[in-house]
Chain A
Amino acid sequence: AGLELLSDQGYRVDGRRAGELRKIQARMGVFAQADGSAYIEQGNTKALAVVYGPHEIRGSRARALPDRALVNCQYSSATFSTGERKRRPHGDRKSCEMGLQLRQTFEAAILTQLHPRSQIDIYVQVLQADGGTYAACVNAATLAVLDAGIPMRDFVCACSAGFVDGTALADLSHVEEAAGGPQLALALLPASGQIALLEMDARLHEDHLEQVLEAAARASRDVHTVLDRVVRQHVQEASVLLGD
């Protein structure tokens, strides 16, 4: 057999328990130029997100929506982000798909009807990919959207989950992803408990789905707790300087 992903004692390859997250560190407002920006590290996965808007529709005006804002997401991963050097940072099929997923996620979270005929750009770049890139991108982009002050229905928090030997694992690392088991990505609106995006590429028995979904949802709430603290601290710092 290959690598043992879950030991008899219940520890994973990197020493975590099944439902444990990797360490999350995040910062908001990392760029002066953009309307909103954020940087996040989830274990060794690192992502930067930048938000511009709501601004005028760029390119053809025909894309403008009469009743809501257009959310434009671009995902790219740096050429040095993966073990094997990538040729192109964006524009390949995987990046396009990821951009589309991010767009779906944020159209569910942002109150787009407040800014008709305008555009909101979300650019995400992965600097180091160590599993859970979708989750890191969503979390970084949420912080950036908050930093930009764009009205949102709710925070979005994302986390991945896998399934090994009858146990659901939360927040997969690259090693666990590469082992080829089923893998589920979930973006959750934690306050209302609604799902913004749910994706799974592999086959998993129906009976196990609920368990994995439950693990991903719990991990997303844990992510929310961490990000909540980051945002509160950021707002506190910013307003203290303005003399409150």
Chain B
Amino acid sequence: MWRYTLKRMLVAVPMLLGISLLTFVLMRVTPGNYLDTIRMDPQFSKETIRHYEQLYQLDKPLAQQYIRWIYNLLHFELGYSFHYNVPVHKIIGERVWNTFVLSLSAFLFTWCIAIPLGIGAALNRNRPVDRAVQFFSYIALSFPGFFLAMIFLFWASQTGILPLGGMHSPDYDRLGMGGKIVDLLKHLVIPTRALSVGSIAALQRLMRGNMLEVLGQRYILTARAKGLPEGRVVYHHALRNAVNPLITLLGYEFSSLLSGAALIEIICSWPGLGSLMLTAVRSKDVYLVMASMLMGSILFMVGNLLADIALAKVDPRIRYD
């Protein structure tokens, strides 16, 4: 298992390099960088701009700039954000954490709702409950997440129960430990729901399908024939086998939430990696974009890796190495 994990990580390195190179090229292929914005500003003297250019080697050829960035990266330096006027690592850590919190919350919410819903639907197959669940899932699947976020925000603005976007209330710092947690949870409600409605629908359908397939197996018939109580048949024999295939989805699910979170973050003004990336791209803040891409990809990859490991832990038939 360790060997497998290590191998996966080693394979990831050249890929991350490729992604960073791609990002760098994409950012530099169009003329202009953040210094052009500063150049327009009469507050900055020519000497200051020269100084910046030399500091970040923006006057050197592109290849050299990229190599310099890699060199800095190896020293755990992510470069400097011109837009925010601070080193990139000072802002990105917090943003990664915020995105992680949002994705995790959406992820937990999705699984806690979708799995019981799928089981319930499978056990009540073709009854009105099942029909209703399937119908609403279909609608939810086609509902754009960003529209859902808008509707929820509108609803919040009308009722005033929930905060309108953001991550903390203005008086967050004055709250006690419990108050802080409640405040965070309150802010999480809208983006979490906007993110997870679609995933719940998809996951619920998969769970229902798997459950139905397993319930049709011979060993379920055997379990019933030997007189096991129905609850034990369903939750002990059927459920374990039905959940298995979903565990591969676990990581991908997390990753897709991460990607979907970007747009929701922007709409709900959640201070995460996605909204940071948008600001960075808009202001042509090269190093910030590259760092955001890198962090996003790493989170994404870790999600997938964890999924594969979890699968091997749960299903003894699967062996890596």
- A and B associate: no
